[in-house]
């Protein structure tokens, strides 16, 4: 059973702070890692993906991957109230085209 674990939260941060979201996965053969954002009542939309160990930055977002420790994280700098949403971590096992999703972490950015 391939598992993707996330703390359901909510994670509450003040506006302008750094929000740190974490995700662990059970399948050591996993190769592709994705972060999706889901606003209440809406469908998931991609924020970014990462495949290699290390950091990947895109604007205010940074994804960090550590395959040895089997975790992937998402940092959101200068958090805005509009970032308030559920953040879903998704993982593809090696060779699979089917992502397994975690339950998501609810982020609340308060002014």
Site for another protein contains 69 (CB under 8 A): no
Tokens of 99: 């992502």
Q: Which of 7, 20, 22, 49 binds another protein (CB under 8 A)?
A: 49
Residue 107, SS3?
strand
Q: How far is the CB of 16 from another protein (least distance, A)?
A: 28
**How far is CA 59 from each of CA 11, 48, 56, 111, rounded to the nearest angstrom?**
21, 11, 10, 21
Among 68, 69, 98, 111, binds another protein (CB under 8 A): 98
The verdict on 77 binding another protein (CB under 8 A) reads: no
């Amino acid at each position: 059973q391939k598992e993707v674990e996330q703390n359901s939260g909510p994670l509450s941060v003040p506006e302008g702070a750094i929000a740190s979201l974490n995700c662990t996965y059970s399948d050591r053969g996993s190769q592709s890692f994705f972060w999706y954002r889901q606003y209440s009542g809406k469908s998931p939309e991609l924020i970014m993906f990462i495949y290699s160990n290390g950091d990947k930055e895109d604007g205010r977002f940074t994804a960090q991957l550590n395959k040895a420790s089997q975790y992937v994280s998402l940092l959101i700098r200068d958090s805005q109230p509009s970032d308030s949403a559920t953040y879903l971590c998704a993982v593809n096992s090696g060779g699979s085209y089917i992502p397994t999703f975690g339950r998501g972490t609810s982020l609340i950015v308060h002014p």
